[in-house]
Amino acid sequence: QVQLVQSGAEVKKPGSSVTVSCKGSGGTLRRYAIAWVRQAPGQGLEWMGVIIPILQSLDYAPKFKHRVTISTDDSATTAYMELSSLRPEDTGVYYCARAGSGDSSGFYVAWGQGTLVTVSS
């Protein structure tokens, strides 16, 4: 089974961008749906968007649509989430999560360890 390993914590200035990576250990992510989920401090889970590499499919939550870019590398071993125009309220833990394929592409069977992004001047 493909497990997910995320990049380390980031501290960013307001207005800048951050890129968080999510590497599949044990195989390619190509046939899976890979989602990004945010959790602000002490708050709940917020779905940001999803990529399905084998279908070249992308979908973003309207709230993030103009600021987030989700992608994978050519081999689909690593997924990326870039969030631009950062604000202090973007501070939180960002998770990547892996779903199954086909009809099972909406629920998440494996999660990365999370990446803390702190936005502060």
Partner 1 sequence: DIVMTQSPESLTVSLGERATINCKSSQSIFYNSNSRNYLAWYQQKPGQPPKLLIYWASTRESGVPDRFSGSGSGTDFTLTITSLQAEDVAVYYCQQYYSAPYSFGQGTKLEIK
Choose which of 17, 27, 54, 59 interacts with partner 1 (CB under 8 A): 59
Rg of the chain over CA atoms, in angstroms? 14
* Residue whose CB is less far from partner 1, 8 or 62: 62
Q: Which residues contact 52 (CB under 8 A, 6 or more apart)?
A: 32, 33, 34, 58, 105
For residue 61, state whether it binds partner 1 (rule: CB under 8 A): yes
* Residue whose CB is less far from partner 1, 39 or 84: 39
* Residue whose CB is less far from partner 1, 25 or 75: 25
β-strand partners of 69: 82
Choose which of 45, 73, 102, 120 interacts with partner 1 (CB under 8 A): 45
Distance CA 73, CA 9 (A): 21
What is the number of residues in the chain?
Answer: 121
Q: Which residues would be at the binding site for partner 1 (CB under 8 A)?
A: 35, 37, 44-47, 49-50, 59-63, 95, 97, 103-109, 111-114
